[in-house]
Amino acid sequence: MQKMIIIEDDPAISDLIKLNLELAGYECRQAYSGKDAQSVLSGFTPDLILLDISLPDMEGYELMERFRRIEVPVIFLTARNALAEKVKGLKMGADDYIVKPFEAMELLARIEAVLRRYGRKSDRIACGGLEIHLEERTVKRDGAVIELTMKEYELLLLLLGNRNKALSREKILELVWGYEYGGETRTVDIHIQKIRRKLGWEDLIKTVYKFGYRLEVLP
Amino acid sequence: MKLWQKVFWGTFLLFEVLFNASSFCLIEHNFNQNLVREVDRGLSDQQVLSARMESDWSYFNNLNQLLNTSKEDADDFFSRNASKYLKSFDPDHVSIEIRNERDQTVFSNFSETIAGPRPELDNEKPAVRKYIIRSVGRRSVLFVSGELAVSGRDFKLTYIRDLTGIYEDKQAQIRNFVKINIVIAVVLAGGLYGLIWFLTRSVRQLTRSAQTIASGQYSHRVNVLSKDEIGLLSENFNAMAEAIEEKVVALETADRNRQRFIHYLTHELKTPLTSIIGYADFLRTTPFKEEVFYKSLHYIYGEGKRLESLAFKLMDLILVENSQPRMTVGEIGPVFEEIALTMRPQLEKAQAELMMSVETAKLPMEKDLLQILCTNLIDNSIKASKAGSSIFFRGYRTEDSRYVIEVQDEGIGIPQEDIPKVFEPFFTAGRSRTQPNRGAGLGLAICAEIVRLHKGQLDIQSRLNEGTIVRILLPDDTTNLQLADPYEISRSYNESASRNCAFQTQITNPEGKT
């Protein structure tokens, strides 16, 4: 299980991130100030740091200098949509940034991307009796390869990345087919039917009434 | 063409024209005088000669008659004796020619041949001497002809004088003049250039300064070099630069404040929004779990309240900044009572006690704003205080007859280094965000505006963990009401408005559009 530290002075936002990360299967620690973060980090090496730029006792940038030494990837959170600030953060060695207000799905996607870049995310996912090899782009059940089309495979990855969370049809359409795709949400339903049947996940992929779908697996 | 070039060429050309014209006039005049003198001399010489010749002939003729010698011909006489008359003249310049009535040359020692007609020899009025100046070869020669009456015969005596010298003198003068003129022109050009360069250096300096200022260095000033018109211009230029600099600095400050305001406002809006949207989204997309559900709702409620309070504070700020304060003289006592009444629920909730003491007085004030001011101050005190502590709310008159409103608490206090910053929008002492009863950080910013509108002073004294005293000194009594004319108030209002104009534009623009 990958470990994260959330350095954020606002308890509401800190808790919100924690809830979302834990749901996605990460272990989280929280720190509410720069000093707090340093004491937490003295006995804890996370795989990723989520850092708010404006902390009560110091600027997030100051902490970033220290993080560079321990070589842990950093994603910073900022409420300011100023380009200069993002550039400064990235130049200081942050791996990515996210602007408040953000959606949990976006945060998770960015976390995954950064972890993968650092090779901390294994290229094998096991879930619901399936084994997914990201490098090979194959899905196996008991060693037997299940053939999936491109979109079906991407849809599966999206569901896996947002385990236990409902995804609206619109969101799925946007994330799998892209913004430019003018298709109907019916497309999503058809693809969900197909992967349910192919993977044997009729019970795991739940339909959320008037909303979308949710992959329910025990953490 | 540049000014210095214009002045240079203008002066230079004008001088050259005048100098040349006057010089040529002078030379010409001089030459003409010489010529006239020479002609006069020629005329008189010719007259003298002809008189001498006539008298000599008549003497000689008489002598011949007396001696009864053979009568001699006048032609022979002149051809024989003419050269003797020339002895008294410069042989290089003067010659004579004598012709008889049949136009035969009796005598001539003029060596050159004379081409063309000889109008001076015309014989219409024999008694009148005629002269002509003509070019013979490369020389200019004066011919003076007159009658030489000898024994009833009409001879012509022509006096010939070489005037080339005068013409050569004129040419030499012109040559000299040209040389002098060249020297003068060079010296004049150099002198003029230097002089103009010297006189226009202030203008060039002014130009450079203007460019420097235009490039953004507003603190640049011109050196005033002289006390002439340009010096005056430089001084005025400096005054203008000063005014511009002040305005620019004021604008920059206003802009920085606006930037900071937007910056904080963005933060203050986005943080609760992130929570509210985030928890709502979490709740609608995850299966129900009681513990998470209530925690999330708690946060949504709390952050919603935070947004609400921010919105109210912003509205107060709009009220303060956009309302033209209408000062009325009123009794302060009832205002205090009313404030205490409004604050009661909050005081009870925080288990704090309000100790009020008020010295009655009639004061010029804007009642609504004064209420916002006091409630904000008391609200701050409540937030800083622990349960069971007291908050003092006093109104009294000082010895120099100023009225003081004072709010004192026994709370956590403000760190010394933060006191100057507490009036900045969105500043919360200690930046203790995690504290449950923190405000938006707009309260004191609003208070500062209100105090400014009342032309008062705000004074804060604080000790950590001992308490804070906020003192508002209102100006000296009703006499100030006359001073506080509408213009003054609106001006101070504008000054204060610039501090938070970002906020104004953001919030009030929709009204402007409709």
Regarding an ipTM greater than 0.85, the answer is no
Domains A3-117 and A124-215 share a fold: no
User: Is B237 found in the same domain as B107?
Assistant: no
Dihedral sign computed on CA atoms, order B481, B485, B490, B493? negative
d(CA B393, CA B344): 13
Report chain A's mean pLDDT, rounded to a whole number: 84
List beta partners, residue A5. Answer: A29, A49
User: Is B146 found in the same domain as B68?
Assistant: yes
Q: Which residue has the tokens 């101070």?
A: B492
DSSP B436: T
d(CA B34, CA B144): 16
pLDDT at B440: 61
Dihedral sign computed on CA atoms, order B4, B9, B12, B14? negative
Domain membership of residue B54 as a residue range? 3-172
For chain A, percent helix, then strand, then coil, each to nearest 5? 40, 25, 35
Is the residue at B500 inside a domain? no
Contact across the interface for A16 and B274, Cβ inside 8 Å: yes
Cβ atoms < 10 Å from Cβ of B221: 15
Query: Which conformational region is residue A73 in: left (phi greater than 0), alpha (psi within -120 to 50 degrees), or beta?
Result: beta
B418 touches B396 (CB < 8 A) = no
Contact across the interface for A79 and B272, Cβ inside 8 Å: no
Cβ atoms < 10 Å from Cβ of B296: 24
Is the residue at B119 inside a domain? yes
User: Is B161 found in the same domain as B13?
Assistant: yes
Contact across the interface for A101 and B270, Cβ inside 8 Å: yes
d(CA B438, CA B268): 12
Q: Residue B331: which residues within 8 A CB-CB, separation 6 or more?
A: B360, B361, B362
E-assigned strands of chain A?
Answer: 3-7, 27-31, 48-52, 74-78, 96-99, 124-127, 130-133, 138-141, 144-146, 166-168, 205-208, 212-215
Task: Read off the pTM.
Answer: 0.52
Structure tokens that stand for A14 in this block: 């800190």
Per residue in A91-150, pLDDT tens? Answer: 888 888 888 888 888 888 888 888 888 876 667 777 878 888 887 788 888 888 888 888
Structure tokens that stand for B406 in this block: 């004072």
Contact across the interface for A23 and B286, Cβ inside 8 Å: yes
d(CA B252, CA B247): 8
Is the residue at B273 inside a domain? no
Enumerate the domain spans of chain A.
Answer: 3-117, 124-215
Q: Which residues of chain B have pLDDT under 70?
A: 71, 123-126, 323-325, 425-440, 476-514
Structure tokens that stand for B502 in this block: 């970002």
Contact across the interface for A101 and B295, Cβ inside 8 Å: no
A76: number of CA atoms within 13 Å, CB side?
27
Is the residue at B229 inside a domain? yes
Pick the residue from chain B with its C-alpha nearest to A20: B282
Q: What is the 3-state secondary structure (H, E, C) of A128-157?
A: CCEEEECCCCEEEECCEEECCCHHHHHHHH
DSSP H helices in B286-434: 290-322, 332-350, 367-384
DSSP A27: E
pLDDT at B108: 85
- On chain B, the residues whose CB falls within 8 A of the CB of A57 are 431
Residues 265-324 of B with CB under 8 A from A: 266-267, 270-275, 277-279, 281-282, 284-287, 292, 295-296, 299, 302-303
d(CA A18, CA A14): 6
pLDDT at B191: 94
Residue among A6, A7, A8, A16 with most chain B CBs within 10 A, to mutate: A16
CATH number given to A3-117: 3.40.50.2300
Is the residue at B254 inside a domain? no
3-state secondary structure of B8: helix
- How far does the CA of residue A164 sit from the closest CA of chain B (Å)? 6
Is the residue at B115 inside a domain? yes
Among the partner residues A10, A164, A165, nearest to B271 by beta-carbon distance: A10
Residues 141-200 of A with CB under 8 A from B: 164-167
- How far does the CA of residue A25 sit from the closest CA of chain B (Å)? 14
| Domain harbouring B52, CATH code | 3.30.450.20
Among the partner residues B299, B431, B434, nearest to A15 by beta-carbon distance: B299
CB burial class (10 A; 0-12, 13-18, 19+) of residue A21? Answer: buried
Is the residue at B77 inside a domain? yes
Contact across the interface for B285 and A79, Cβ inside 8 Å: no
Residue among B274, B290, B291, B426 with most chain A CBs within 10 A, to mutate: B274
CA end-to-end distance (rounded Å), chain A: 11
Per residue in A25-83, pLDDT tens? Answer: 888 999 988 888 888 888 888 888 898 887 877 777 788 877 777 778 889 888 776 78
B366 touches B327 (CB < 8 A) = yes
Average pLDDT for residues A8-19, to the nearest whole number?
88
DSSP H helices in B410-500: 443-453, 479-483, 486-499
Q: Which residue has the tokens 């795709």?
A: A181
pLDDT at B511: 38
pLDDT at B218: 85
- On chain B, the residues whose CB falls within 8 A of the CB of A79 are 266-267, 270-271, 274
- On chain B, the residues whose CB falls within 8 A of the CB of A98 are none
pLDDT at B17: 95
Contact across the interface for B434 and A164, Cβ inside 8 Å: no
pLDDT at A10: 84
Average pLDDT for residues A184-209, to the nearest whole number?
88
CATH number given to A124-215: 1.10.10.10
3-state secondary structure of A10: coil
User: Is B343 found in the same domain as B245?
Assistant: no
More confident site: A13 or B318: A13
CB burial class (10 A; 0-12, 13-18, 19+) of residue B268? Answer: buried
pLDDT at B171: 92
User: Is B145 found in the same domain as B240?
Assistant: no
Pick the residue from chain A with its C-alpha nearest to B430: A56
- How far does the CA of residue B300 sit from the closest CA of chain A (Å)? 9
How many folded domains does chain B comprise? 3
Is the residue at B341 inside a domain? yes
